[in-house]
Chains A and B, each alone.
Chain A
Amino acid sequence: MLDLIWLILFLGGILVGALTGKIELVTGTFFSGANEGVKVCLDLIGLMTLWLGMLEIAKQSGLITFIARCMRPLTGILFPGVPPEHPALGAIIMNISANILGLGNAATPFGLKAMEELQKINPDPSTASDAMCTFLALNTSCLTLIPATIIGVRVAAGSSNPTEIVAPTIIATGLSMVIIIIIDILWRTLLRPWYRRFKRC
C-alpha cells in the first residue's frame, strides 16, 4: 500500500508536470524536497538529544516504570503483547500525554524512544508488530486539548474569538481516538482471525 501511494505521488507529479509544461519546476523540486527532508532531520537532532537525556534521568529514577504501572489497566487492553512494566509503555504514555497537551516538540522524541523499545521485543525486525500499529494509531488519532498552532494563526488573523474552535476540536479528536481504538481491537481479535481462516480455505 505504501509502495502504491509513493508511486502515485512520484509518477503522478512528474506526469502532470510534463503535461502542463512545468517540468523545470518539477526538476527543481527534487532538489529542494530532498533538502527539506534533511532540514527536518537537522531540526530534530538538538531536540532529540535534549529529550533523550531528560528521559534517561526519568527512566533511571524509576519514574517511567511508575507511570507505566499506574496505567497498566489501560495498556493491558491496548498492548497485550507488551510485558507489564516494560519501558516501552512508559514512553508511549509520555508520547500520548504530550500529544494531548499539544506539545509537538516533546511528542516526537518520546515516540521515537517508544518505537526503539517496542522494536526490542519485536520478533521480526523488518515488520511492524501489533503493538507498534496500535501505538501509531493512537498517535495519529490522538485527542487534542490545545490546538496551540492554529489558535496562534487565528489570533494573528484578527479573529474575534480565536479559541471557539477548541470545543469542536476536542470532541472530534476524542471521538476519532475512541473509534480507532475500537477498530484496532476488532481487527486484532475478530476480523483478522476470520480473514486468515478465509484465506486458508
Chain B
Amino acid sequence: MLELILAKISNWAIPVLFCVFLLLGWARRLPVYETFIQGAAEGFQIAVRIIPYLVAMFVAIKVFRVSGAMDMLARLCAPVLGILGAPPEVLPLALMRPLSGSSALGIATELVKTYGPDSFIGRLASVMQGTTDTTFFVLTIYFGSVGIKKYRHALALGLIADLTGLLLSIFLCNLIFK
C-alpha cells in the first residue's frame, strides 16, 4: 500500500510542482511567460558548458570497460567481497556504479534477468543499484558546469558515500533476504 502511494507520488510530483509554480507566479502578477523565457535562456549554455567534462569521463570509462580491464579488476577484488557476504557476480556492478549510471543499470538489469529478480543476486543487485550513486558523473557535470577544477574533499566524500551504501546494501540484504 505504502509502496503504491510512493509510486503515485513520483508520477504526480512534476505536474503538481509545475501547477504550483505557475499558479503562484500568476497570483503574484508576474509576467509568467516572459519570466519563463528569461530563465530558460540559460539552459543551453549550462548544458553545453559540460561537454568537455562529459567527453573526458565517458571516453576513459568506456575504454576501461571495453578493454576488459574492468573485468580484471573485478576478478582481483572478488575475494574481498566474498568475506563481506556478497556473491562475486555483483562486483562489476559495484565497481561500475560510481562511474557510469547507464552501464551500471545495464549490468543490474542483466543480473536481475539472468539470476531472476527474486534470487539473492537479483535482490542484492536491485538494492545496490538504488542505494549508490554515479558519483563521478555527478561531480563531473556539477563542477564542470561552473568551471571548478579542484574538487577538494568532494570526491573523497562521494566515494565514502558509495562505499557506505554498498556495504549497507550487502549487510541489509544478508539480514533480510537470506
Chain A residues in the interface with B (C-beta under 8 A): 1-2, 5-6, 9-10, 12-17, 20, 22, 25-26, 29-30, 32-34, 36-38, 40-42, 44-46, 48-63, 101-103, 105-106, 108-109, 111-112, 115-116, 118-119, 125-128, 132-133, 136-137, 139-142, 144-151, 153-154, 157-169, 171-173, 175-177, 179-180, 183-184, 187
Contact = CB atoms under 8 A, between A and B. Distances in A.
12 contacts: A6-B57, A22-B68, A40-B58, A57-B36, A116-B46, A133-B152, A136-B142, A136-B143, A136-B154, A147-B129, A167-B176, A175-B168
Contacts of B55: 33-34, 37-38
- List the 5 closest pairs (A to B, CB-CB), nearest first: A56-B39, A49-B43, A147-B130, A53-B40, A159-B117
A159 to B, nearest CB: 3
Given A17-B63, A40-B58, A175-B168, A127 B3 contact: no
A157 B117 contact: yes
B165 A25 contact: no
Given A17-B69, A139-B138, 18 more contacts: A13-B60, A16-B69, A41-B54, A44-B47, A45-B47, A52-B40, A53-B40, A58-B24, A106-B13, A126-B150, A127-B152, A132-B148, A133-B154, A133-B157, A136-B157, A139-B133, A146-B6, A147-B130
A141 B28 contact: no
B117 A158 contact: yes
B157 A41 contact: no
The dominant DSSP class at the A interface is: helix
B9 A146 contact: yes
Contacts of A105: 14
A34 B58 contact: yes
Nearest to B50: A41
Interface residues of B, number: 97
A126 B149 contact: yes
